[in-house]
Structure 1
Amino acid sequence: MKIVKWYKDFNELIMFQHSVFSLPFIFIAMIVSADGWFGWQLLLLGVLAAVSARNFAMLVNRYLDRDIDALNPRTRNRPSVDGRFSQTQLRLLILINALVFIATAYIINDLAFWLSFPILLVLGGYSWFKRFSELAHLVLGLSLGLAPIAGAVAVEGEIPMWSMMLAVGVMFWVAGFDLLYSLQDMAFDKAQGLFSIPSRYGSDCTIFLARIFHAIAVLFWAFFTAMASLGFFAWLAVFVGAAMLVYEHRIVSRDFTKIDRAFFTVNGYLGFVYLLLIIADRMAG
């Protein structure tokens, strides 16, 4: 029973369900790179790399944000704050996940291994940035935007230009919905002097910037589709993704209390719908 409780606490700590945001775009890049199925070995290694990298990022965030989270009513009951995980345990988990990610990258190929170190620096940088710069939203976006580049590197051993376009699209998609999600903590961030865009510029500016970011995301998804010479279903994925983002903004603009619905449900489905349409495109091609 202790193991079950520990697992539940750990899952609450890292919020594993949020992996739905990056995993689909890793596999999209791998499918496009391989022009179809890329093999079971790369599938397992890709999942292991993605999960360990995300665990590392979340654990660093939880570790560095303990003081802030303890003051926020929305986050004061997190396992990193209420004593379920000690500072020593958090540091150990951070180290373990970093080593797993580096080791997995080493097995994949040389480029993946050498890129694993700067990737970890980016993944761990988000928590620092929000203490002194409004660019923290884009840093978070970059963290997830690296996923499709990593997927392409795993298959090809190089960074194709179309993966850069897909990465930029993912970066602005994530930064856009992080802006909307940050509206929940606007008053708290302002009181604590944190550098979120909502706390610095207000809700109207935040929503406007989120719309701009999401428009840029759709534009770069279109660039990706064209540069990778994809077909009808890939273009349909761009259209469906745009429609889902429009729906997300309609939800948030009507009622801030539904931000969780927009953040988790709409964005979670977006990645998987995009992945399914890319699979359909490769099968049709």
Structure 2
Amino acid sequence: MSDLTPDTQHPGLIGLLPRTVRGLALLARFDRPIGWWLLFWPGAWAVALAGGAFARWPLLLLLLVGSIAMRGAGCVYNDIVDRDLDAQVARTRARPIPSGAVSVRGAGVWLIVLCLVGLTVLVQLRPLAAAVAVASLLPVAAYPFMKRITWWPQAWLGLVFSWAALVGWAEVTGRFAPAAVLLYAGSIAWVIGYDTIYALQDREDDALVGVRSSALRLGRHVRGGVALAYALAVALWAAAIWTVRADPLAGVALVPAAGHLAWQVLTLRADDGAGALHRFRSNRFTGLLVFMACLVVGTAP
């Protein structure tokens, strides 16, 4: 597949760092903030829909710091596990570990440092929210192996990347509610959609090395599969909003986000790697639009 974006780009400040430090920064994907935005947004939605966006605004900062640290830790762990596979894929063979820029031992130490940063966020949460956050560690640890045993690793990623919705709601309210579960479920569907788009970049290499993905499984039905995932996400988000404010007008707040997702589907081309990456990255705006919808509903009198 042409026009793939390698994981070796390091423009701006990352490119000015010493070689070893730059390798660690690239290993944690500090040059690619889209990952921690996608991890952060579900938690921010929950805080906003639960009515805590203004009263608990420091919580949003905590969730952001935690997202940056734990997304980095997840990437380091994933690269340690996948180092042999990464060496066989054109887009990933120049990553720090397979290229030799960072040793496996060095990556392990870096992983511990990032986890300690996450721990500083964890200890500031109330016990229920902290327990929910800790419960995510097992599915996070299992994720790198999913691509070896299932055609739907994107669904497992959805479980992991949506977890902050449960943490954020538990922290603001001290309990669980149907709205939190619906937000979480909607986020899972959203992740399946956008990560299927992302996986389009690697379909040829994945097929050669035996890695499974929803993009491969869906074949020529990728656009329909993404459309279904996104439609389910919007429906579940609307249901979450309805449980908080049973007013048909409240659902209108989701129209901008739904329109943006529709644009992704309508303009998606399975054979355009660069275009797929652009649409994947545009989901940071989807997250913002859903946050604004939750903010409007959660703070309405």
TM, length-normalised to structure 1 = 0.89
Q: Secondary structure at the match of 2:215?
A: helix
- Give 1:272's match in structure 2, choosing from 288, 292, 295: 288
CA distance in structure 2 between the partners assigned to 1:101 and 1:75 by the alignment: 26
Deviation at 1:182, TM superposition (A): 1.1
CA apart distance, 1:72 = 0.9
Distance 1:140 1:122 in 2: 9
1:39 has 2:27 as partner:
no
Task: Find out whether 1:84 has 2:101 as its counterpart.
Answer: yes
Pairing partner for 1:214 from 230, 245, 249: 230
Partner of 2:17: 4
| Separation in structure 1 between the aligned mates of residue 160 and residue 56 of structure 2, nearest angstrom | 25
Q: Is the 8 A contact 1:22 1:147 kept in 2?
A: yes
Q: Which moved more, 1:82-91 or 1:49-58?
A: 49-58
Q: 92, 116, 138: which one pairs with 1:121?
A: 138
Aligned counterparts, 1:12-91, within 5 A: 12-16=26-30, 17-18=33-34, 19-91=36-108
- Structure 1 stretch displaced more, 222-231 or 60-69: 222-231
- Give the aligned length: 283
1:244 maps to 260
CA contact (8 A) 1:102 1:116 kept: no
**Equivalences for 1:76-225 in 2 at 5 Å?**
76-199=93-216, 201=217, 203-225=219-241
Whether the 8 Å contact between 2:56 and 2:172 is mirrored in structure 1 is no
Alignment RMSD, CA only?
Answer: 2.5
User: What is the rounded CA distance, in whole Å, between the counterparts of 1:9 and 1:157 in structure 2?
Assistant: 40
Contact 1:14/1:59, CA 8 A, preserved across alignment: yes
Q: How many angstroms apart in 1 are the aligned matches of 2:300 and 2:21?
A: 41
Cα deviation, residue 56, structure 1: 2.0
Identify if the C-alpha distance between structure 1 residues 170 and 84 changes in structure 2 by more than 3 Å, giving closer, same or farther: same
- Structure with the larger RCO, 1 or 2 (CA within 8 Å, 6+ apart): 2
1:248-284 deviation line (CA, Å, top 9, x unaligned): 012213752310111112x111111222343344455
1:166 is paired with a residue whose SS is helix
Query: Are the structure 2 counterparts of residues 250 and 10 from structure 1 closer, same or farther at C-alpha, using a change threshold of 3 Å?
Result: farther
- 2: CA distance, partners of 1:211 / 1:50: 27
- The alpha-carbon distance between structure 1 residues 50 and 198, as it changes in their structure 2 partners (threshold 3 A), is closer
Letter in structure 1 aligned against 2:200: L
2:52·2:172 contact (CA, 8 Å) conserved in 1?
no
The offset of 1:42, in angstroms, is 2.3
Contact 1:30 1:38 in 2 (8 A): no
Contact 2:133 2:164 in 1 (8 A): no
Distance 1:205 1:254 in 2: 9
Q: 1:57 to 1:194 in 2, by over 3 A?
A: same
TM-score, structure 2 normalization: 0.84
Q: Which runs of 5+ in 2 are unaligned?
A: 1-12
Deviation at 1:137, TM superposition (A): 0.9
Greater Cα shift, 157-166 or 90-99: 90-99
Return the alpha-carbon distance in structure 1 between the equivalents of residues 250 and 27 of structure 2.
Answer: 35
Counterpart in 2 of 1:263? 280
**Any idea what the Cα deviations from partners look like across 1:59-94, whole Å, max 9, x if unmatched?**
211111111111111111112322222111211222
